[in-house]
Structure 1
Amino acid sequence: MTHILAIDQGTTSSRAILFDHQMRPTRSAQREFTQHFPASGWVEHDPEEIWKTVRDTCLEVASGADIAAIGITNQRETTLVWDRATGQPIHNAIVWQDRRTAGTCSKLKEAGHEALVTSRTGLLLDPYFSGTKLAWILDNVDGARARAEAGELVFGTVDTFLIWRLTGGARHVTDATNAARTMLYDINSGAWDADICALLDIPMSMLPEVLDCAAKFGTTDLLGGETPILGVAGDQQAATIGQACFKPGMMKSTYGTGCFALLNTGDTPVTSTNRLLTTIAYQLDSKPTYALEGSIFIAGAAVQWLRDGLGIIDDAAQTGNLAKAADPEQDVVLVPAFTGLGAPYWDAECRGAVFGLTRGSGPKEFARAALESVGFQTRDLLAAMKADMGAKADTVLRVDGGMAASDWTMQFLADITGAAVDRPTVLETTALGAAWLAGMKAGLYPDQDGFAARWALDCRFEVKMDQATRARRYQTWQDAVSRTLSRP
C-alpha cells in the first residue's frame, strides 16, 4: 500500500486528495455544496449533501490506487445531531459561522458562567462553538430533547459524522482537537465536562469517544476491502501539523473562508489575557500539545462577497490585480463583520461596514479593502499573541490556504504585521496534515522530526512598508473597528 487518502471537508466544499509514499499530492477532486442562510446571521449545511460530496470525491480519486489509510480533516465547530439507530440527521448542520445562539451566550455571560467555561475549555462563551448550537437543536427540533435523554440521538462535529457514515455506524468517535472546539471538553483533564454539559442541559450519552489525532478510528468498505481511518484533526490543527509547527513559539495562519492563526505553546496550556483561545494543537500518544488561537470569521469569504454579493469580480484571482491598480490616495477600509467579529473582539452582534468611500471609489478600491482586511485582522491576532507570549512568539509567520497564493495579499500581510511571511511549496497543508497523521500511524510516513525536515519554502515575503505608514494604516483600521463594534 503506497498511498494515503486525505478527506478535507471544508466550509464551502469537500475535497479528496491522494498523497503518494513521498507525501506528494498526486490526484484530487473537489465538490462545492450549498450554503443555506435561513435567517440573518444563520448558516446551515445539508448533512446528506456533505456526505455525498465526500463519498463522490473519495471514489473519484481512489480509483485504482493502493491506499494504506485515510486521514480526515474538517470544518470545526459545525454541529450535527442524528438518530443512533438509522444514522439520519434530525436537522441541518449548524455551521461554525452561525450566530443564532448569541442571545444564549450573552445570558450565560451575565449569569457569570464564562469563567468556568474558559478555565475548563480554554474557550470563550460565544456562538462560534458547538455547545450552544447543540443545545439549540435539542430545544427547537420537535421531540429532540426527549429522544436525546432516551439515548436515541448522538452528536458530532463533521469528522464524527463522516466516520459514522464511513464505518456504517460502527464507530462514534472524534479526536482531541475537534473535541476541544465544542465548549464541552475539559482540555486540562482530557474528558467531557459534566458541569458544562449540565449547564447547557446536554445529555452526555450523546457525546463521542475522544481519541488521539493518530489512532484507530475504524475501517470503511467505501473503497472496496477494509481501509483503516488512522488520522483525524480539525482543519486549523491539521494545517498546524502540515506546516510542521511542532516547536513552541512557531506560528501558522491559514487563509480560507475565515482566517485562523495558531501559536504552539508546548505541553502547557497558556491562558490568554488578550481574549485569544487556548486550545489543543494536536494530541499524539495521549499527550496533548497546546496552542493559542486567534479566529477571524471572514477572510476569503470577503472575496466571495465581492463575487457573489456585489458582482464586481468573476473570479477570486482577479482581486490581486484590481487591488494593485487601486487609487493609493484613497483609504477605503472594509470591516468584514458579516457574522460578527472574532478574536480579539468577540462581538457577535456587530455587522460589516465600509469606511472612507468617495465618489471615486469603485471595484478596485473595494478589492483592495477586502484583501487588506485580512492583513489588518491578522495583525490584531499577532499583537494579542505577542502580548501573551512575549519573546517566546516567533517573528516569522507560516501561511497557507487559498489566499496565500496571492502575492499581493501576502506582501501586504508582511507589511502591515511587520513580520516575515513564509509560504511553503505545498499550500495544501490542511490535507497534508491529515495525510501525515494517517500515514505516520500506518508506518508509511516519517516521525515528526522527519516530517519537519521535509518542509520546504516557496517564497518569503519581507517587510517593505516603512514604520510610519504601517502605524498610520493600522490606526485607520482600529478607528474603523471601533465604529463598528456593537458594545460601548
Structure 2
Amino acid sequence: MSDNRIHKLVLDQSTSGTKLLLVGIEENEAKILRRMDRKHTQIFPQDGWVEHDPSEIVKNTKQLIAEMLEATNLSAQDIRSLSITNQRETIVAWNKKTGQPVSNALVWQCNRSNDICKQLIEAGKETEIQRKTGLKIDSYFSGPKIRWLFENSDEMRSLAASGELAIGTMDSWLIWNLTDGEVFATEPSNASRTLLYNIYENSWDAALCDIFLVPPDSLAEIRDSNDSFGHYEGIPIQGVMADSQAALYGQNCFGFGDIKVTMGTGCSVMMQIEERSDLISDNILKTIAFTDNGATDYALEGIIRSCGDTLTWLSSELALFGTIEEGIESAFSVNDNEGVYLVPAQLGLAAPFWDSDIRAAFLGMNRRTGKPHLIRAGFESILFQIRAVIDEIKQVTCLDIPRVKVDGGVTKNNRLMQMLADILGITIEVSCIEELSALGVLMLTSGFDMQKEGKIFNPKSNNLEPHYQQWLEYINKVRDK
C-alpha cells in the first residue's frame, strides 16, 4: 500500500480480544483502511472468577502489528503513530526486572474480591473512597483485586518489599511491553478506575494505596491522555484512553448533558458533565472522561456487567442458539416475553443496584415457556438495565434527556434499537461507525472528526413499560431473598 495519506494505527484491546485498525488521513479526513482481529482465551478458574493471560494479549498485539504492516506493504517508518484504547479495570501485576506477570490478569468482571469489598464497607471506608475517586467499593474496580493478590501471593509481597513490583491496567502493561520496559505510564481515564486515584487532584492517593496495600512506587507515571508514551519499533505511541471514555469522545459528547451508551461485553452509560465535579449519587459513578492539554473533563457513569455477555452466555453455556443472528430470529419470533424475565446477574449486578451477591435467574416461566421466550428475556434484560441507569442519571442531574447516542456490537439489530427507544421514551441515535472507542482516541490526538449522524430511532410505543416495571419487581424480590 503506497499513497499520500498519513497512516496511523489504533489498537483496541478489549475484553474479548484485540483489534488493530489502519487509518488513512488525508486533508483532515480519515478512513479506516483495514482491520484485523484476534481473540484471546477467557479463563474461568472458579465460579465468578475471570482471568486473561496477559502474555497472550501482548503476543497477539505484536503479531497483529506485524501482520498489518506485511498485509499493507507498509514499514514501521510509514506509520505516523500508534494509539491505544483498552478494557479498563482489568489489572496486571508483574516483575519489573524480568517483565514476567505475577499471575493472570484479573478481569473487570472477576468477583473474587467480594469479601474484601464487604470488609472495607463494614470498616467504614466507602465514604472516603467515593469522595476521592467518585467510585464505589466494588469488585468491578481494580483496587480490591490488587489487595486480593497481595493477600494470596507470596511473590506479590516479595516483589513489593524489594521495589521490583509493577501494577497496572492493561494500557500500562501493553506500553511497558511495547517499549521493552522503557516506559511505565498510564493516563487519567484508566487510572481513575482503580480506586487508587484522586480524580480531583489528578494523582495517586497515598491513603487509598494504603487501604488496598499498594506500594506507590509500584504504580505507573501519570501522563495526559493525548501525551506520548514511547515507541514500538520506531512507531511513536501517541494517545491512550480507556475504551468507554474513548467512545464518549468519539461520539462528540463534549457538552454538559451529552450522553452515550456503549453496548459491548458489558455496557457503559456515560454522560459528559465537563468540569461539574459537584454532582454526586450513591448509585451512579463519577469518573474522569479524559484530560487534554492539562484540562480535565468529568463524566457520570452507570456500568452494567452483562450486556453482550448475556447473549454469549445464552449461546455458549445454555446452548439456546448458535449465532447471534439465530438468537435474534428466535427472540423476535414471539410477540412478547409472555411473562418470562431474566435477572441478568451472571456476574452480579452493578449500577444502579450494586449487588454482587445476587444470582442470575429466569422468572415467570410456565409450561408454555420455550427457547424463544428465554432468549427474548435475555435481550430485554439488556434494555431494562439501561433504562434503570438512565432513570438514575436523570434524577441526579434533573436534566431532560432528548437524545441518547449508542454504539457497540449489540446495536446492529434494528428491532432491538427500536425497543430501546420505546423503553426509554427517548430518541436513539445509533452510530454508523462501529469502532468508536478506537477512533475516539485517534480523534483526541489528531484533531479530526469522523462522526456523522447515525440511524435514528424515535419512540413509537410504551407497550414495554409494564414489562419493565415487572422486571424491576422481580429484581427487588430476588435481592430481598
Q: Give the structure-2-normalised TM-score.
A: 0.95
Aligned to 1:473: 467
| CA displacement, residues 87-135 of structure 1 (integer Å, 9 cap, x when unaligned) | 1101000000001111111111111110000000000011111011111
Distance of 1:306 and 1:132 partners within structure 2: 29
SS in 1 for 2:475: helix
Distance 1:195 1:274, change over 3 A: closer
After alignment, is 393-402 or 379-388 more displaced? 393-402
Match of 2:430 among 413, 417, 423: 423
Q: Which moved more, 1:14-23 or 1:396-405?
A: 14-23
What is the 5 A alignment of 1:269-288? 269-288=277-296
Q: Secondary structure at the match of 1:178?
A: helix
* AA partner of residue 55 (structure 1): K
The one-letter code sitting in structure 2 at the alignment partner of 1:455 is: Q
Task: Confirm whether residue 42 of structure 1 aligns to residue 49 of structure 2.
Answer: yes
Structure 1 position 340 matched with structure 2 position 348: yes
Partner of 1:232: 240
1:458 matches 2:464: no
Higher mean displacement: 115-124 or 474-483 = 474-483
Task: For 1:169 and 1:176, locate their aligned partners in 2 and report how far apart those are by CA, in whole Å.
Answer: 20
**Which one has more relative contact order, counting CA pairs under 8 Å at least 6 apart?**
1
Alignment of 1:114-153 (within 5 A): 114-153=126-165
Alignment-derived partner of residue 184 in structure 1? 196
How far apart, CA to CA, are the structure 1 residues paired with 2:351 and 2:336? Answer: 29
- Tell me, yes or no, if the aligned pair for 1:73 and 1:232 is still in contact at 8 Å: yes
Query: Which residue does the alignment assign to 2:24?
Result: 20
Q: Deviations over 1:15-37 (max 9, x none)?
A: 11111102221101111111111
- Equivalent pairs counted in the alignment come to 469
Is the partner of 2:245 in helix, strand or coil? Answer: helix
Partner of 1:371: 379
Matching residue's letter, 1:39: Q
Q: Tell me, yes or no, if the aligned pair for 2:171 and 2:240 is still in contact at 8 Å.
A: yes
**Structure 1 partner of 2:80:** 68
C-alpha contact (below 8 Å) 1:5/1:62 kept by paired residues: no
Report how far residue 274 of structure 1 moved: 4.6
- Percentage identity across aligned positions? 37
How far did residue 172 of structure 1 move?
Answer: 0.4
- Name 1:210's counterpart in structure 2: 222
Corresponding residue of 1:159? 171
Q: How many angstroms apart in 2 are the aligned matches of 1:23 and 1:173?
A: 28
Q: Find the aligned partners of 1:362 and 1:431 in 2 and give their Cα distance.
A: 39
Q: In the alignment, which residue of structure 2 is the partner of 1:483? A: 477
How far 1:300 sits from its partner (Å)? 0.3
- Do residues 59 (structure 1) and 66 (structure 2) align? yes
1:326 aligns with 2:334: yes
Contact in 2 for aligned 1:23/1:432 (Cα 8 Å): no
Distance, in Å, in 1 between the alignment partners of 2:21 and 2:370 is 39
Map Cα deviations across residues 244-302 of structure 1 (whole Å, 9 max, x no partner): 11111100000110010100001122433251000011110111100000000000011
Unaligned runs of 5+ in 2: none
Tell me the equivalent position of 2:315.
Answer: 307
Which string of whole-angstrom CA distances, capped at 9 and with x for unpartnered residues, describes residues 379-411 of structure 1? 0110011001112x5321100010011112111
Q: Distance in 2 between matches of 1:352 and 1:320?
A: 21
Asked if the contact 1:18–1:25 (Cα under 8 Å) also holds between the matched residues in 2, the reply is yes
Q: Give the Cα–Cα distance (whole angstroms) in 1 for the partners of residues 393 and 330 of structure 2.
A: 32
Out of 230, 245, 251, the residue aligned to residue 253 of structure 2 is 245
Q: Which amino acid aligns with 2:106?
A: I
Amino acid at match of 1:101: S
Q: Deviations over 1:128-165 (max 9, x none)?
A: 11011111112212232132132111001000000001
Query: Matches of 1:480 and 1:3 in 2, distance apart?
Result: 52
Q: 1:316 aligns with which of 279, 302, 324?
A: 324
SS in 1 for 2:186: strand
Distance across 2 between alignment mates of 1:201 and 1:458: 46
- The CA deviation at 1:327 is 4.5
Aligned-partner Cα distance in 1 for 2:225–2:10: 14
Paired position in structure 1 for 2:401: 394
Question: How many Å separate the matches in 2 of 1:455 and 1:235?
Answer: 17
Q: What's the CA shift for 1:329? A: 6.4
Q: Is the 8 A contact 2:337 2:376 kept in 1?
A: no
Question: Match of 1:456, as an amino acid?
Answer: K
> What is the deviation of 1:218?
0.9
Which of 187, 197, 201 is residue 213 of structure 2 equivalent to? Answer: 201
Structure 1 CA distance for aligned equivalents of residues 384 and 99 of structure 2: 43
1:60/1:109 CA distance change after superposition, 3 Å: same
- SS of the counterpart of 2:444? helix
Partner AA of 1:475 in structure 2? Q
TM-score by length of structure 1 reads 0.94
Matched, 1:432 2:443: no
Q: Is the 8 A contact 1:18 1:62 kept in 2?
A: no
* Letter of the 2:169 counterpart: T
**Quick check: 1:274–1:384 contact (8 Å CA) kept in 2?**
no
Alpha-carbon offset, residue 457 of structure 1:
2.0
Instruction: Give the gaps of 5 or more residues in structure 1.
Output: none
Instruction: Give me the whole-angstrom Cα distance separating, in 2, the residues matched to 1:363 and 1:270.
Output: 47
SS at match of 1:14: strand
Indicate the larger mover: 144-153 or 128-137. 144-153
- Give the conservation status (yes or no) of the 8 Å contact 2:93–2:165: yes
Give the Cα–Cα distance (whole angstroms) in 2 for the partners of residues 462 and 250 of structure 1: 17
1:8 aligned to which of 7, 12, 16: 12
Q: Answer whether contact 2:150 2:213 (CA < 8 A) is retained.
A: no
Q: Supply the distance in 2 between the matched residues of 1:365 and 1:55 (Cα, whole angstroms).
A: 43
In 1: Cα distance, 2:272 partner to 2:454 partner: 22
Report the Cα distance in structure 2 between the residues aligned to 1:13 and 1:363, rounded to whole angstroms: 29
Separation of aligned partners in 2, 1:409 and 1:272: 31
* Structure 1 vs Structure 2 CA RMSD: 1.4
Equivalent position amino acid for 1:419 in 2: I
Tell me the secondary structure at the aligned position of residue 286 of structure 2: strand
Deviates more, 1:39-48 or 1:306-315: 306-315
Q: Is the 8 A contact 1:320 1:408 kept in 2?
A: no
Asked whether the equivalents of residues 274 and 387 of structure 1 are also in contact (C-alpha less than 8 Å), the reply is no
In the alignment, the residues of structure 1 paired with residue 50 and residue 459 of structure 2 have an alpha-carbon distance, to the nearest angstrom, of 37
